[in-house]
Every structure is written in C-alpha cells, then in structure tokens.
Structure 1
Amino acid sequence: MDTRPIGYLDSGLGGLTAVRAALELLPNEDVVYVGDTARMPYGPRPQAEVLQFTRQIINFLLSQHVKAIVIACNTATAAALPQMQAEFDIPIFGVINAGVSAAAKITRQQKIGVIATEGTVKSNRYRDGLQKILPTATIHQIAAPKLVQLVEKNVTDPKYQKQVIAEQLAGFKTESLDTLILGCTHFPLLAPQIQAVIGPDVQLVDSGAATVLEVQKFLDQAEMRQFEPRLDGVNMQFYTTGAVEIFEQAATHWLNRQHSQVKHLALIADQLQLG
C-alpha cells in the first residue's frame, strides 16, 4: 500500500471529471490537482508549447510527492504523453488510449464520433487508435472548442447550453453514429445535455473515467492502492494558475463538495510555484 496522493493535470477544469470518477473508483486516494486556467485553452496552441506546459506541471506535481500522474487533458495527452513517460520515472497515464479501448468495446455498428479540442482532432490520436482496433470502422471527428468555454465559464443556462451544443455537433446530423467519444475531459460535465442533442441511441464514452479505471487496475497490480478509509476524509489539494475564486466555485459545483480550497500557482523562472 502506498499512501501518497495521485496527481492530476489539465488545462483548466475539465480534469475534474477524472477526479469525480476517482472519488467513486478510488475513494481513499488523496488528490493533487493542477488546472492551468491562465493558459487555457490548450487546443489551439502549438504542440511544443503544450509539451512545455505539461512538463512544468508534472515537475510541480512531483514536488508534491505524488505516486502516479494522470494527464487528464486530451490535448496534453496527444502532445506530450510518450515524451513525458520517457522523461519521468513515475507512472503517467493519458486519457486517449482508455477512451479508444472503451469505445471499441461498446460500439455496435462501428460508427463512432469524436468531439474534442482542435489540437486533439488534428493529432488524429483517437482516429488512429480506433482504426488499429477496428480497421473497418467509420470515424467522424469534430472540434468543439465552445463546449470547453461553457464549462470554464460555468455557464448553467440550459437553453443556452443546448443551443451551443447543437451548433457544435451539427456536423454529425448526417451521420448515423452509435457511439460518441467525449474526447475532452470538460465534456462529461455536459453529458446529459450532449445526450439530449445527439439522441438516446448514441452511447457516450467518458475517456477520463475510463482512464481512472486503468489507474485502479495498475495500483492494484502494483500493490500501491490505498484501501483503508481516512478518518478525516480524502485530502484534496487544488491548484490553479488562474483566478482562485472562480476555480473554487466551479470545483465545488462540479464535484459537489463544499469548500474546495484552491491555491494559486505562479510561473517563476519557467517553474510553477506557489504565489
């Protein structure tokens, strides 16, 4: 058993969907989460820049003595995962492969859609991964950056949410999808609204939740999982490079936990530090 926390990183709030899944699947594991809200969105940024940001966050998480890291951001996974796994001597998980595996298992007619950021779509990591497993599958990808903004701005007006989602998913109207991969960890926070627009017959895949299941299996095999309940509850540390108050409000809302305490990180000499 290893009582050290698990580290999560994302460009903003989206990775909280992975944390939310971890609260169910790994209820006794402490959490250290970094949301790089000052520099989001990652989707339109060059790959080299996303790689640099990811490395900075991982270095900070290592300073917090985490035992494993989840890159809970599809764009960062696409841009940086193999290199980060090569650079750092710690288990690092990305969210794309788990999403690919989950979709391949549940698709009925091999007609799969992917909604993601621009960077993830351009990387074709979902498409290529699916085609390796399902060579005859039909795969349609759409970049949906406005959905990220709905989450980051904590927009809760259901009518406006539906309008934006319908606009972003309009490219699927002529496609007979049976499975839709939510290829950005922000999107599961809008899953009911996305389901209402895409239709009840399309199965949604939450890549973040699928990744946490992989982390659970790894921790069990490595005998690193924390099984004993904490008398004082799970310790959750949140950090953001952006506005602390906005992050606190959103984290409290999305995780349904009162008084999520968030600290600010500043970029000093190419390193993230408390500031």
Structure 2
Amino acid sequence: MEVDSPIGIIDSGAGGLTVVKEMLRRLPQEPIIYIGDNARCPYGPRPAEEVKEFTTEMVSKLSDMGIKMLIIACNTATAVALDDIRAQFPFPVVGVIVPGARAAVQGSRLGNIAVLGTAGTINSGAYEDAIRGFSTNSVVYPLACPEFVPIVESGQYHTEYASEVVERTLLPLADVPFDAAILGCTHYPLLQEHIAKHLPAGVQIISSAVETVRDVEAILQEKQLARQSNQPAEPVFYSTGEVDAFRLIVEDWLSIDGPDVRHIVL
C-alpha cells in the first residue's frame, strides 16, 4: 500500500459525508474515494446478511481502485460486517462504533449514555458491547430512530418538518437520566441542531464521525501510511443512486463547489 493511495469511505448513502467533512478538516492532504449506496439506503431495516453483502460489494470496488485504508462510515454496516471485511481485505479497516463508544464513556460523568441509531444498529447491541468494553458500570439507553435517515437522504434536514420528527422520536428519552448521547448513525450529525434542541440541557452529544477520524489519523501515523504533502486532495464521490440529488447534499454539507460526483454500479 502506497502512502499516496486514497482512503476509501463507504456508507449506505449520504451519512458518511459527516466523516468526509472531518477528514477534510483534519487530514485535507489525504485523497478520498467515497461510495454511497443511495439506491439501497437505508440499511437499518435490512437483514444482517444483506447488509454484509452490500458492504462487501462496495469494499470490493474500492479495493480494485487501490485504496490504502477503509472507513466503514455506516454504523449498521460496522455493527454486522466489520469483522468479515477485516478478514477479507489486506488494508486497515476502521469502523465508527468503538470510537464513539470510547468518547461517550470518557465524556459521561454519570455513566448514563443514550445511543441514537438505526433499527439495525440498535438491535445488534453493538454499542452496548463497545461501551461495556470500556466501562462495565455504564448504563446504556438505546433508541431506534428510523425516520432520521430518510429525512437526510431526501435533503430535508434543514426543515421544520425535520425538527418535528426529531422531537417526536426523542420523546422516550424525556425522563431518562443520561448526560451523554451518541449519534450512532453518521447521517445524524446533519440533524444535530434539531437533536440538541430536543435533548435535555447539558447533555454531551458525541459524533462517531469526529471520533473515527481521530482514530484514522493515529493509524495512518502508526502504519506509516500518512501522505506527506501540503497540497489538499480533491475527494471523489460515487453514488449508486440519483447523482444530482446526491451532489446537492455534498455541496451543501461540505461547502464544495462543483464536487466530482459520479454514478457507480455495484
């Protein structure tokens, strides 16, 4: 693997752009190839075996493109496919669950942590396992938020409708004594302004995307794969779905004019 090779990022759709945003901020010199499986999004309600199949298809494409590292930016895919992908491919593979869990344990004074995620992620118990790997005393309050991803994928995340859906979805947490909340899906930071408004004051909101990129940076240094350049690299984006709609989200969320967005068939 060459240091100038790209880092691959995969997601069920647009959610992984939150990881890209943090990559552009912390590691702008690193080339990125992103695949969003918008045509088959969301992954949350799908059977685990189907998610594994879709994830492997995306990673195989990126492997053929010569990536030096992979970020599975989808929490659902991380929960069910991370170990399989690591066993199949030779490059380092980073998921988004363990970094978010670690940050939540470190940031919670009470040890009471809410996890917001897709049905697939919540049902897998992956965050509970990861959190208890860092602290056996932590209490976890998982909440599936099935309406969040469709709002983001349809570009409605700035709307009043989005705020209403978030408020309704978070009602089960109204009387729960937590002081940290993990955004356990990389789509959710696009709804963070609404989420913060409808959570109790003082709750620390943890973005798994931000924490994951910190881990990526450390692994690049450890394995001597960091690109030594002062020139920012231009990311390339692929979508299995409607390219123009995806381009609008890329432009809005990443503030990139004329991003390189292409269609891909898996």
The TM-score bracket by the shorter chain reads over 0.9
Aligned to 2:240: 241
Unaligned runs of at least 5 residues, structure 1: 267-271
**Given the alignment of the two structures, is residue 258 of structure 1 paired with residue 257 of structure 2, yes or no?**
yes
Moved over 6 A (4+): none
- CA positional deviation for 1:199: 3.0
TM-score between both structures, scaled by the size of structure 1: 0.94
| Long gaps (5+) in structure 2 | none
Shift in Å, 1:65: 1.1
1:46: Cα distance to partner? 0.6
Amino acid at match of 2:91: I
Task: Report how many residues are paired.
Answer: 265
How far residue 145 of structure 1 moved from its aligned partner, in angstroms, is 1.5
User: What SS does the aligned partner of 1:38 have?
Assistant: helix
2:152 matches 1:164:
no
User: 2:72 matched to 1:71?
Assistant: yes
Within 5 A, what are the aligned runs for 1:23-102? 23-102=24-103
Match of 2:122 in 1: 121
TM, length-normalised to structure 2 = 0.97
Residue 261 (structure 1) shift: 2.0
Partner of 2:140, secondary structure, is: strand
Alignment-mate amino acid for residue 249 of structure 1: L
Q: Secondary structure at the match of 2:35?
A: strand
Distance 2:73 2:6 in 1: 15
Aligned partner of 1:103 in structure 2 is: 104
Distance 2:252 2:27 in 1: 20
CA distance in 2, matches of 1:186, 1:157: 13
Give the deviation of 1:262 after TM superposition.
1.0
Q: Does 1:8 align with 2:9?
A: yes
1:144-170 CA deviation, whole Å, 9 max, x = no partner? 021111111111454222111011111
Between the aligned partners of 1:209 and 1:82, the Cα distance in structure 2 is 22
| Paired letter, 2:104 | A
What is the alpha-carbon root mean square deviation over aligned residues?
1.1
Aligned residue runs from structure 1 range 174-213, under 5 A: 174-213=175-214
Question: Which residue is equivalent to 1:269?
Answer: none
Alpha-carbon distance in structure 1 between the residues aligned to 2:27 and 2:91: 19
Deviation at 1:254, TM superposition (A): 0.7
